[in-house]
Amino acid sequence: MNVVDSMELLKKYANCAECGSDKLGNGEGTLDIADNVFNRTCKCGYSITIDKRIKVIASATKRVGRKTEGIYEVRIDDSLKHKYLPVNELKELTGIKRINQFKKVEEWLNTKEGRKWAIETPHVNDF
């Protein structure tokens, strides 16, 4: 998770939403920021997880002449607006053979390189 997001979440969840405690460690509460998942727990039982990993929601393909074109519909961070990414490019980048290999695609999209690509690649409009 990048520093800006981490800081923002730390600030937002510094105090437990249930009991107001701002304590961490020594059994008072925990904080775990790994990859793009933020988790904060409190001794009162409160726990919050924010998952900002890229997720593949769906895929679609169609025939264009003799070729097959397709898109992966992905969610980036917690944005409500989904993005369509080109299947053929992702196949080359990830080495997948079949479009239903969502797990492999997600894994790659959540690498540093993949995340950059997913953010910079323009949304496929005509699908």
> Which range in 36-44, 51-59, 83-91, 113-121 contacts Zn ion by CB under 5 A?
36-44
Please report whether residue 119 would count as binding Zn ion according to CB under 5 A. no
Please say which residue, 20 or 65, places its beta carbon nearer to Zn ion: 20
Give me the DSSP letters along the chain: --HHHHHHHHHHTSS-TTT-----STTSEEEEEETTEEEEEETTS-EEEEE---EEEEEEEEEETTEEEEEEEEE-TT-SS-EEEEHHHHHHHH--SSTT-HHHHHHHHTSHHHHHHHHHSPP----
**Residues 110 and 35: beta-carbon distance below 8 Å:** yes
The CB-of-33 to Zn ion minimum distance in angstroms stands at 19
Please report whether residue 16 would count as binding Zn ion according to CB under 5 A. yes
What mask of x and - would describe binding to Zn ion in positions 93 to 112, judged by CB under 5 A? --------------------
Q: Which of 24, 31, 33, 44 binds Zn ion (CB under 5 A)?
A: 44
Please report whether residue 48 would count as binding Zn ion according to CB under 5 A. no
Between CA 5 and CA 44 the distance in angstroms is 25
> Which range in 7-15, 18-26, 55-63, 115-123 contacts Zn ion by CB under 5 A?
18-26
Please report whether residue 10 would count as binding Zn ion according to CB under 5 A. no
Binding site for Zn ion (CB under 5 A): 16, 18-19, 21, 42, 44, 46
